[in-house]
Amino acid sequence: MKSDGSDVVMSLKNVSKIFVKRKFLRRSIPFYALENINLDIEKGERLSIIGESGSGKTTLARIASGLDKPSEGSVFWFGREITKLKTKKFKELRPKVQYIHQNPYASINPSRTIFSVLADPLKRYEGEVDSIEKKVADLLRSVGIVPPEFFFNKYPRHLSGGGLQRLAIARAMIPKPEIILADEIVSMIDMSFRAAIVKLLIELNEKTGITIVMISHDIGVARYFSHGGGRIAVMLRGRIVEIGPPDAIVDNPIHPYTRALILASPVANKRLALKKRELLPKYNIQKEVWESEIMKMKGCRYAFFCPFASEKCQEEKPELTDVEKDGKHKVACHMIEEIPAWELESVG
Ligand SMILES: Nc1ncnc2c1ncn2[C@@H]1O[C@H](COP(=O)(O)OP(=O)(O)OP(=O)(O)O)[C@@H](O)[C@H]1O
Ligand code: SF4
Ligand SMILES: [Mg+2]
Would you say residue 344 lies in a domain?
no
Question: Domains in the chain: how many in total?
Answer: 1
Q: What is the pTM assigned to this prediction? A: 0.94
How many angstroms separate the CA atoms of 161 and 178, rounded? 25
Q: Is residue 138 part of a domain?
A: no
Ligand 2 binding pocket, CB closer than 6 Å: 255-256, 300, 302-303, 306, 308-309, 313, 318, 333-335
- Characterize 80-99 residue by residue with b for buried, 16 or more Cβ atoms within 10 angstroms of its Cβ, and e for exposed: eebeebeeeeeeeebbbbbb
- Distance (angstroms) between ligand 1 centre and the Cα of 208 equals 32
- By most ligand atoms within 8 Å of CB, the mutation choice from 35, 306, 316 for ligand 2 is 306
179, part of any domain: yes
Domain of 302, CATH number, reads 3.40.50.300
Residue 166, domain member (yes or no):
yes
> What digits encode the pLDDT tens for the residues 261-303?
999 998 889 999 999 999 999 999 999 998 878 888 899 999 9
Tell whether 128 is covered by a domain: no
- Could you tell me the distance, in angstroms and rounded to a whole number, from the CA of residue 307 to the centre of ligand 2? 8
Question: In angstroms, rounded to a whole number, what is the distance separating the alpha carbons of residues 288 and 274?
Answer: 24
pLDDT tens per residue across span 44-57 = 999 999 999 999 99
Residues of the domain holding 94? 8-111+155-338
Q: Say if 116 falls within a structural domain.
A: no
Q: Each residue of 230-262: pLDDT tens digit? A: 999 999 999 999 999 999 999 999 999 999 999
Please give the order of strands across the beta sheet that includes 72-77: 28-42, 8-22, 72-77, 80-81
Best residue for ligand 1 mutational test, from 17, 37, 55 (most atoms within 8 Å of Cβ): 55
Establish if 117 belongs to a structural domain. Answer: no
Question: pLDDT tens-digit profile of 60-95?
Answer: 999 999 999 999 999 999 999 999 999 999 999 999
CA distance 172 to 274: 42
> Does residue 305 lie in a domain region?
yes
